Amino acid sequence: MKIGYARVSTFDQNMFLQIDALERAGCEKVFTDTASGSIDTRKGLIDAIDFCRSGDSLIVWKLDRLGRSLRHLIDTMNHLQLKGVEFVSLQECVDTRTSGGKLVFHVFGALAEFEREMIRERTRAGLRSARDRGVVTGRPKKLTKAQIQMARTLMKNLENKPRDICFTMKISRSTLYRYCHPQTKKI
């Protein structure tokens, strides 16, 4: 039996192209997900793999629909192989029923992993360059220096209750204590 799996990353996208291709490939049942490929546990994929029996083929429109990391792809392929299930990717012409298809799968997986690693390296280099130029990265501080000083002054007066200070300054109690706790030296 041919089982299809289709995935899109967001609800704004539609998977009609994938589903149509899977049906043309002869899939009798198609499982779907709307989730990022970086998420390892996707209900539709888990259901598709559980549905597969020995001798079945799991078919996807494109290799990246199955998973984004090489490790996840290989783990999924090993799991399918243990169950006696073959794998087919329509766009890359990968068919693990053939030795050539198995080789192509591993080459494509390695290239995809290489591409992701290059993106990570460029991102890290860009962040490092920005820091070297003095650009502050990360989440902005909740309070300015003047607001911190005001909160500390208010906290010194024991008649002021923390919840009143928080209400006045429009901050949470945890933010107040993070900046004004006696052991805290944040500025």
The reported pLDDT for the residue numbered 40 is 63
Question: Is the pTM for the entire model greater than 0.85?
Answer: no
Q: How far apart are CA 69 and CA 113, in angstroms?
A: 6
The reported pLDDT for the residue numbered 183 is 55
Give kind and range of the element (H or E) at residue 177: helix 173-180
Vertex 21, ends 113 and 106: CA angle to 5°? 25
From first to last of the 187 residues of the chain, give the pLDDT tens digit: 999 999 988 777 888 999 999 999 999 999 998 877 666 678 888 999 999 999 999 999 988 888 767 777 777 887 888 898 999 999 888 888 888 877 876 776 677 778 778 888 999 999 999 889 988 888 888 888 999 999 999 988 889 999 999 999 999 999 999 888 765 454 4
- Under 8 Å CB-to-CB from 42, ≥6 apart: which residues? 7, 33, 35
- Which are the catalytic amino acids? 9
The reported pLDDT for the residue numbered 187 is 46
Q: How far apart are CA 142 and CA 163, in angstroms?
A: 17
The reported pLDDT for the residue numbered 164 is 92
The reported pLDDT for the residue numbered 92 is 81
Structure tokens given for 170: 């429009």
